Structure 1
């Protein structure tokens, strides 16, 4: 059975019952899969198409132009990551993908940067693509809105007040990651575009091209998650699982590009306010059950997860 498709447009409805119905659908998806397709998100198709076109244009740049934007130059983990720069599955080969990281563009005198908040700072922008920056800034802003709406839905799904996560969604941190997956090589059978992993943060909102390749671990093995026109793939990260004492699932997933084509995708990793404390929700504990995880600040959780992943790649 494939992943459920959930229309979130009714989260903006004036009828509380309509909003609760979306929460009920989200609850079922989060308990069973930790993944779902999201429609009714409100992001204009023209902006989506522009973001994908600019992503392809970026990766079509000469290697020298991309390496001039290497994220090794950025204290905020922004910029280009070369092919094989990450190993998401411990013990596996390096992932067969190249990437580009974008976050909120913060000046050196921004309080978050001055405080040394994790991955906070300025972006690196390509000089040769004049349309790239405005498109990505607009797309980043649009996905922040979608993520906040989804957190409203998650609150309803947990039978909490709709604004329960409002502090988490205030002044949030997020990462837009542009990805290019060359076709898999038949002569390297163990090679993965992205090794099996769970995501670190709160929510991931994924835009795929038409080539497929995403697989989600189900009860009976890997489930294909092909692109659905007009829909994002949304999944919960480790932080939501931690928040709910693993009641909601952060599920293993991977990418194998067997299409024979160049594959592009754009995940938006929503982390929330870096200083927000993630503490187990009492409503997610059965009688007599104890929290599995101690409280942690968002940025401290992310710092630990990044250190683990990139240590595996070295």
Structure 2
């Protein structure tokens, strides 16, 4: 059943745009509850179509980071190799920091579109606002604020929005969050590779600074066509580790054994997922997996996700110790800048950037 514009009330998030709710409706075969996201990427296009279902009986892996490292290693390795996702608790980031960032973010997204447009993101720089109207063939129902490390950089950006309250406080919160979540990401990455008996020095050669990392704060307004669109369609994360905080509304789903598994929000916990760079560095032992974000008809939702990206001059490839006769190198080595250069090409073709660096023998 297709939906007619006349039957859909114009939500406030579309006021001031030329968009209609119907602009966000995906073809019937590609909607969240009927099929799979079409792709030319053989790593993604596995031909699920209508056989994809939601599974709520699978136990999502959880890691308690207050346990001794030796107890964490096997749990972490199993979760990363079989799911590519896991929940962490006792991570050391205070709850009031999450709540403060969420409050500031809600204030920002509540501004008029014309005010938010004052800091529109200009790619490729991952800094600024992207609206629900950003151009794409089929649009997703979301807004985002992209931020980079550096309190002054964040504050300078937010000062360009005169009616935004407390830019200094928000900048301070985000700067503190970058520091804490960056340290958390480094600890998790070290533990992941320690489980493969890889020395920390080899891991630190790739993941040694968060200066090129980003924080994306996502806002998903209540959506009148929720069953017909996505907050974010099925995709993989291209960076190293991604660490997600979601509110109590939820909406994240992970593809596991051919089924979409809802990842329920748990207060005080964070969701971690393996990006394609860790898949490459681990020589495929820790796979990056498809996930998607759904939206709600009656509720808005907010999330923020830290993406770990190495610096442009970082040399990346499978760690030599993980290349064996039984498991030859699956990827070529490259500089991070070369990897980033294929992002646009990959996205247009619905492909993963890692495909451009696969060894032809595999």
Indicate if the aligned counterparts of 1:104 and 1:122 stay in contact, CA closer than 8 A.
no
Residue 24 of structure 2 corresponds to which residue in structure 1?
A: none
Q: From the superposition, tell whether residues 310 and 220 of structure 1 become closer, same or farther in structure 2 (CA, over 3 Å).
A: closer
Which residue is 2:125 aligned to?
A: 76
139, 144, 154: which is aligned to 1:94? 139
Q: Which one has the largest radius of gyration?
A: 2
**Number of the residue aligned with 2:97:** 47
**Corresponding position: 1:272 with 2:305:** no
- Paired with 2:236 and 2:156, the residues of 1 have a C-alpha distance of 25
- Please name the residue that 1:13 is paired with: none
1:287: which partner in 2?
325
Q: Over aligned residues, Cα RMSD in angstroms?
A: 2.5
1:1-314 to structure 2, matched below 5 A, reads: 1-10=58-67, 18-72=68-122, 76-85=125-134, 93-105=138-150, 124-125=157-158, 126-127=161-162, 128-130=164-166, 131-172=169-210, 173-186=212-225, 189-258=227-296, 260-309=298-347
Structure 1 residue 75, shift from structure 2 partner: 5.9
Q: Against the structure 1 CA distance between its residues 3 and 82, is the aligned structure 2 distance closer, same or farther, given a 3 Å change threshold?
A: same
Query: Which runs of 5 or more residues in structure 2 are unaligned?
Result: 1-57, 351-362
Distance 1:289 1:222 in 2: 29
Deviation at 1:303, TM superposition (A): 3.2
Does the C-alpha gap of structure 1 residues 75 and 222 become closer, same or farther in structure 2, counting only changes over 3 Å? closer
Q: Distance in 2 between matches of 1:307 and 1:135?
A: 35
Structure 1 170/247 Cα, relative in aligned 2: closer, same or farther at 3 Å? closer
Deviations 1:159-212 (A, max 9, x none): 1124432233323321000110122333x7431110000001000000001111
CA shift for structure 1 position 231 = 0.6
Determine the C-alpha separation between the residues in 1 that align with 2:96 and 2:261: 30
1:70–1:80 Cα contact (<8 Å) kept: yes
C-alpha distance after superposition, 1:228-262 (max 9, x if no partner): 11110000001111112222110100011136211
Cα distance change of structure 1 residues 36 and 75 upon mapping to structure 2, 3 Å threshold? closer
**CA deviation map 1:136-172 (0-9, x unaligned):** 1111221111111112211212211244322333233
Query: Post-superposition shift, 1:85?
Result: 2.5
Name the CA shift for 1:139/1:158 in 2 (closer, same or farther; >3 Å): same
Query: Whole-Å Cα distance in 2 between the matches of residues 171 and 107 of structure 1?
Result: 18
| d(CA) in 1 for partners of 2:124, 2:112 | 24
Contact 1:93 1:190 in 2 (8 A): no
Report if the CA contact (8 A) 1:86-1:310 is conserved: no
